[in-house]
Structures are given as C-alpha cells and as structure tokens.
Amino acid sequence: MNPRIAKLWKRWRKGQNWLIAQALFALLAIVRLFPARAGLNVAENFTRLLGPLTPRHRLAKENLRLAYPEKDEAWVEKTARRNWGQMGRVAAEFVFLEEIFDYDPERPNAGIVEVEGKEIFEDLRNRKGPFIFFTGHLGCFELLPICAATYGLEVTALFRQPNNKVIARELLKARRTAGGHLVPSKAGAAWALAGTLQSGGAVGMLVDQKFGKGVLTRFFGRECRTNPLLAKLARQFDCEVYPARSIRLPGGRYRLELQPRLELPRTEAGVVDVPATCQLLNDVVEGWVREYPDQWMWFHRRWQI
C-alpha cells in the first residue's frame, strides 16, 4: 500500500475508533442518570433495537445456526435479539457493579445476588493455592472476582482488551475492583499469572474466545482453536482448577456459581494433558451456553480457524 494512503487509513481508523468510543461513553453517561435497575433496562432496550441493524447481527445468527442446526429461523432471530439485550446489560453493568453486588455472606438471601458454592469459597480461603478459576462470557461475569474478594480470595484476572484502544483504557479503569488485579492479555501476561500461581495465589480466566495459534478443539461439534494457557499453567504448577459462572435470573437477579474442582485429563506420565484439557474447558462452557443460549456472546467468530 502507498505510504501516504496507509497513513491516511491509519488516521481514519483512529478517528473512527474515537467516535465509536465517544458514542459508547455518551450512552453510558445517559445510563448513569438512572437508578441501577432502570439504567440496565434502558441499555437492554436500546441494544435490542440497535444491534439487529448492525453487520454483527448477521454473524450472531450465522453462529446460532451453526451451533443449533435443529432450530428454526424464528428461534434463531428471537435468540439473537435477546442476546443483544443481554450485551446491552453487560455494558451498563460496568456502571453499576458496586450497586448490583449486594451479596452478604452473613445474610445470603437479602439481596439480588445469590451464590452457590460458598462452601468451596470458604475452603479455598482457608488454605493456600495455587488455584485457577475459569469462566465464559455469560451473564454478568464481572461479578465473579468481586464475589471471590467478599470471601477473602484475591484473584488476578486475565482479560482481553478491546481492539479499540480508547475504549480499552476506560474499560481497564472501570474493571478495577477491591481484592483483585487485572492482567491485559498481551506479551508478558503469562509471566504475570505464573508469578501469582508460584506464590500460591489465584488467577481467573475467560476461556471461550478464539485464539489463532491455539489448540485445535471442538465447540458445539465444530472445529475451533482454544487458548492453551490455562492448561499449560495447570500442568506447570499442578493447580486446582474450578469452573465459575454468572447467570442472569428473572426480576433483575443474579446467580453466581463456583462449581467443584475439575478433574483434568492426564497423560500416561501423569502430567496434565494440554489438548484434552482445552477440550474439557470447551465442553464445560458449551454445557453452560446450552442452558442459557441468549446469555453468551454470539457475535464473535469463535469457529474461525
């Protein structure tokens, strides 16, 4: 490409990202004007209207057809539209995280957040790690490290930054929560997580996005590539691995689940089998998605090899 054209293209992309970021920030500023429940409803209704007008809506429907070939077109369209509403809530929940998380271990039934697996939290709190928690882009997954902190567990969480650098900077600020640390998914991230595990700490990861150089696995019966980092860290440090998920419930409620320790497949030599573990992670997340298909992010290219 001509250097001058390349430079103009880069400037145009930078300007476009800035405009998109400002539009998002303006929407969130409007949402902040409302009480939490009303603000979340506003965001859900807005994205359910806007999302289907974008090219990503076609991708979401394409992915739903791949995952659920037995479903008819009406189900696909309905689920994709409901999914946009859920994604609107994801964005707005950043604004209201502190208000949403009202769980008190001493009064577990008093708020809108309920927790399953509290005995596991208590057990892990009372002994040294290393521990790895993993989840997927379901429900309000940002509540999970806050819940861990409530039980005295400090979790270092790995997250993938948005491609839009303006949004990424603000998102990192918004994601800072008491009792935890964040590690952007880039060069050096594995070393940071390894250091935490080596000292007997806990790390958290999202494991359901595509990873171009990952292990070849299957998700909903179709080939995809999965990041092997969790499996490699579990093998290196012989970590205990725990599935955790967030589910949105009717009436604006949330359920956070910390599930029992996952038994990882091992080789004949007794070490963690990395490819088989990557597949096991996919199987767990697929089971979650099948229970609540409208709560997963369908508009990314999970099956792109």
- For residue 83, how far is the Cα from the chain centroid? 14
For the residues 268-278, what does the mean pLDDT come to?
Answer: 97
For the residues 63-90, what does the mean pLDDT come to?
Answer: 96
Range with top average pLDDT, 43-52, 147-156, 188-197, 270-279: 270-279
Task: Say what the pLDDT of residue 27 is.
Answer: 77
Per-residue pLDDT band at 166 (split at 50, 70, 90) = low
For the residues 48-62, what does the mean pLDDT come to?
Answer: 92
Question: Whole-angstrom Cα distance, residue 179 to residue 141?
Answer: 16
Q: Which helix (H) or strand (E) holds 98?
A: helix 73-100
SS3 content of the chain, % helix, strand, coil (to 5): 50, 20, 30
| Cα separations in angstroms, 173 against 95, 142, 178, 231, 303 | 11, 13, 12, 29, 31
Dihedral in degrees, nearest 10, Cα atoms 8, 11, 17, 21: -140
Question: Whole-angstrom Cα distance, residue 288 to residue 259?
Answer: 12
Task: Say what the pLDDT of residue 107 is.
Answer: 92
Task: Say what the pLDDT of residue 104 is.
Answer: 93
- Per-residue model confidence as pLDDT tens digits over 84-137: 999 989 888 988 988 899 999 999 889 999 999 999 999 999 988 899 999 999
- Per-residue model confidence as pLDDT tens digits over 213-251: 899 999 999 999 999 999 999 999 999 999 999 999 999
Indicate the range of 31-40, 61-70, 158-167, 201-210 predicted with least confidence.
Answer: 158-167
Q: Which helix (H) or strand (E) holds 248?
A: strand 240-249
Please say if the pLDDT value at position 20 is more than 90: no
DSSP readout, 213-239?
A: TSEEEEETTEEEEE--HHHHHHHHHT-
User: Across the chain, what does the average pLDDT equal?
Assistant: 88
Q: How many CA atoms lie within 13 A of 17 on its CB side?
A: 14
For the residues 131-149, what does the mean pLDDT come to?
Answer: 93
Indicate the range of 3-7, 187-191, 261-265 predicted with least confidence.
Answer: 3-7
Task: Say what the pLDDT of residue 179 is.
Answer: 47
Per-residue pLDDT band at 157 (split at 50, 70, 90) = confident
Q: Output 44 or 10, whichever has higher pLDDT.
A: 44
* Adjacent-strand bridge partners of 226: 215
Q: Where are the domains of the chain?
A: 3-98, 105-295
Question: Whole-angstrom Cα distance, residue 197 to residue 300?
Answer: 30
139 in the Ramachandran plot: left (φ > 0), alpha (ψ -120 to 50) or beta?
Answer: left
Task: Say what the pLDDT of residue 158 is.
Answer: 82
Please say if the pLDDT value at position 13 is more than 70: no
For the residues 17-42, what does the mean pLDDT come to?
Answer: 83
200 in the Ramachandran plot: left (φ > 0), alpha (ψ -120 to 50) or beta?
Answer: left
The answer to whether the beta carbons of residues 233 and 208 sit under 8 Å apart is: no
Q: Is 0.85 topped by the overall pTM?
A: yes
Task: Say what the pLDDT of residue 205 is.
Answer: 94
